Amino acid sequence: MIDDSHWKRVADLIEPGNRILVITGAGMSADSGLPTYRGVSGLYNVTDTEDGIPIERALSGPMFQRRPQLTWKYIHQLERSCRGAEPNLGHTTLAQWERHGIHMCVLTQNVDGLHERAGSKGVIPIHGTLRNILCTACKATRVVEDYEGLSPLPLCEHCNGVLRPRVVLFGETLPQEETSALYRETSLGFDLVMSIGTTSVFPYIAAPMRYAREWGALAIEVNPGNTEVSPYADLRFPLRSVPFFERLNKDVVLN
C-alpha cells in the first residue's frame, strides 16, 4: 500500500510554472499493447532471430551497412508491433499537463511516437521515431503513418538510395539534435523528475535521476520492479504506468 502522502507530494509539484522531466521506456507504452522486452522499443524475447543471429546484430548499424534488407526485415516487424497502437492515459496525461502551463520535457527511449500523437510538444525522442524516414544517399526525409506501402527494402523515389527510419540502431551514436536539446533542458534543472517504465540501463537515461537532488527536485520512479535508478528515487511507485496515472490524477488540480 502506497501512503496517501506520497501521492500528494507528487501532485503538489504538478502546477503551472514548474519544470517537470519525465523519462519513459517501453513500460510507458505497455498499456497501449506494445511489448516491453528486448530489442528496439521491445519485441524480441529470444537469444537469436530466425536468421540465427542476435537481434542486437540484426538491428545494428554495421549490419544495415552490409545487409540492409536483413535489418529492414526486423524493422518491419517492429513497426507492425506498433501499428494501430493508441496513446494511453499516461501519454494523454503528460500532454494535458503541458497544455496547462507546466514546462514538460519528455525524454523517451520509445520509437513508437505515442507521446507526440497524444499532443506532447516537449518530447526528446532520444532513439528517434519509426515514422520519420530518411534517405541514406540524398538525405531526403518524409513522415509516414505506417509501413504498409513500403517494400522489403525501401528505396528513395528521388535518387533510388536505400531508405531507413530515423532511429538509433545498435552500435550507432545518439542524434546530435536530441542530445543538444537534452543538455539545454538539464542545464536549467527541474522541480520534479519522473522515471516511468524503464530499466534505465543507459547512462544518459539514468543520469537525470542521479542529478535530481542537485537540482533540488523530487525524484520518483514508477516501475513494478527495481532498476538501476531505484537507489536515487525519493519515492517509488511499484505500478504500471496507467494505474499510476489513474491514482495520481485524483490528487492533481489544474486550473
For residues 17 and 102, what is the distance between their CA atoms, to the nearest angstrom? 5
91 catalytic? Reply is no
Q: Is 57 exposed, middle or buried (0-12, 13-18, 19+ CB in 10 A)?
A: middle
Residue closest to 178 by CA, chosen among 129, 117, 229, 228: 129
Q: In angstroms, rounded to a whole number, what is the distance separating the alpha carbons of residues 9 and 13?
A: 7
Q: Both ends of the chain: CA-CA distance in Å?
A: 29
Catalytic member of 76, 103, 115, 127: 127
Spatial strand order in the sheet of 103-108: 123-125, 103-108, 19-24, 192-196, 218-222, 235-237
Q: Residues with Cβ < 8 Å from 198, sequence gap 6 or more?
A: 23, 24, 25, 26, 27, 28, 109, 205, 223, 227
Question: Which residues belong to the active site?
Answer: 127
